[in-house]
Amino acid sequence: MGYTISQVAKKFDLTAHTIRYYDKEGLLPFVDRSKTGNREFTDDDLDWIKLICCLKNTGMPIKQIKQYIEWCLLGDKTLEIRRQMFIDHRKEVLKQMEDLKENLKTIDHKLKCYAKSCNISPNTRQVHSL
């Protein structure tokens, strides 16, 4: 059977427009069509889209994801370079997590300040700088 574009869209919280855009950009060369020309997604296709969303949501540009898909199409001779891509990308994800942690500290510090400012009686409130 398979899934229609809007079923897939719903599943991944995308729009059908976005999926067609990804297809146009070369991210979905594996998706087959029905006799009438409609895209028909298989469960395997969903796995591919899940991976594409993972890469996209961790900041990889569409062009680089496309590059990866192209490497996949070239078969085993690109295994090593694909693996290296994931090693590199993993590093970037770890960096993002570190950065988020640092920024969370700043936000928590700010929240402490606001907790103070908001709890003391109005007439003794400090004037916030800026």
Contact set with a copy of itself (CB under 8 A): 30, 44, 48, 50-51, 54, 57-58, 69, 72-73, 75-76, 79-80, 82-83, 86-87, 89-90, 93-94, 96-97, 99-101, 103-104, 106-108, 110-111, 114-115, 117-118, 122, 125, 127-130
User: How many C-beta atoms lie closer than 10 Å to residue 87's C-beta?
Assistant: 9
> How far is CA 28 from each of CA 24, 61, 68, 89, 125, rounded to the nearest angstrom?
8, 15, 11, 21, 58
Contact between 82 and DNA by CB under 7 A: the answer reads no
**How many whole angstroms from its chain centre is CA 94?**
15
Out of DNA, a copy of itself, none, what residue 7 binds, judged by CB under 5 to 8 A for its kind, is DNA
Q: How far is the CB of 47 from a copy of itself (least distance, A)?
A: 8
Dist CA 46 CA 43 (whole Å): 5
Q: Which of 11, 32, 58, 61 binds DNA (CB under 7 A)?
A: 61
Q: Is the Cβ–Cβ distance between 42 and 32 less than 8 Å?
A: yes
Q: What are phi and psi of 14, to 5 degrees?
A: -120, 175
> Residues 20-39: x/- map of binding to DNA (CB under 7 A)?
xx--x----------xxxxx
The interface partner of residue 36, options being a copy of itself, DNA, none and the CB cut-off 5 to 8 Å by kind, is: DNA
